[in-house]
Amino acid sequence: MTKVIGLTGGIGSGKTTIANYFKELGVPVYIADDGARKIMQSEVILEQIKTIFGNAIFENNVLSRPKLAEIVFKDKEKLDQLNAIVHPAVKADFEAWLLQHEKYEYIIYEAAILFESGRYKECDFIITVTAPEEIRIKRVLERDNTTREHVLSRMKMQWNDEKRISGSNFVINNENLKKAREEVVKILKILNIKQNQS
């Protein structure tokens, strides 16, 4: 049976970079954010979002993700309401994807809020990606058209590294990309040994 490896880390930690390293090494990767993006284009989901958040977050009938993010990352209750719509749909999408990849020994399920959403319970192993806070902030500012204040408010909404690490099997420090890549190779070797022993 395919083992699910949860991959998580705070905003700007470089989860997607690490996920791509696994992909290069032949491990299929499901990115929860991409799944959510796809799902949030479905009319059923959009109607549910419109009911809660109103028309103000739509521009020419198209959902404005920055406007939605502006609301939910300032208000935990609104974030919980959004997650209640999107998470079950992402879970169903992932399960369908998993069936298509059941011939693989491992797959990576990459999610920023793996612990917060409770999805960690469905993982066989968990990897947390870390990086110093200032590096993370710098990465997000370079990647997104946003402010330092907005990045910090998003960080506050997520678990801190210490809490994530306490529930993880592996930790990758993603400050130096070369070393982080070496960690990915090392983890895969350990997982293969565990697979052969079971």
Domain map (residue ranges) of the chain: 3-28+101-197, 38-89
Distances (CA, A) of 97 to 114, 116, 175: 17, 22, 31
Task: Give CA–CA dist 106/190, Å, rounded.
Answer: 12
| pLDDT at 157 (0 to 100) | 86
Reduced to 3 states (helix: H, G, I; strand: E, B; else coil), residue 75 is coil
- Domain 3-28+101-197 belongs to what architecture? 3-Layer(aba) Sandwich (3.40)
Question: Mean pLDDT throughout 127-139?
Answer: 97
Structure tokens at 184: 């990915």
Residue 18 DSSP symbol: H
8 assigned ligand-binding residue = no
Interval 36-93: pLDDT, tens = 999 998 999 999 999 999 999 999 888 998 899 889 988 889 999 999 999 999 999 9
35 assigned ligand-binding residue = no
26 assigned ligand-binding residue = no
Interval 94-126: pLDDT, tens = 999 999 999 999 999 999 999 999 999 999 999
Distances (CA, A) of 71 to 11, 26, 40, 145, 193: 17, 38, 16, 16, 46
14 assigned ligand-binding residue = yes
| pLDDT at 132 (0 to 100) | 96
12 assigned ligand-binding residue = yes
Question: Mean pLDDT throughout 159-172?
Answer: 97
Residues 6+ apart with CB under 8 A from 121: none
Name the percent of the chain lying above pLDDT 90: 82
Which residue is it, tokens 């109607």? Answer: 47
Name the percent of the chain lying above pLDDT 70: 99
Question: Mean pLDDT throughout 145-159?
Answer: 90
186 assigned ligand-binding residue = no
| pLDDT at 197 (0 to 100) | 67
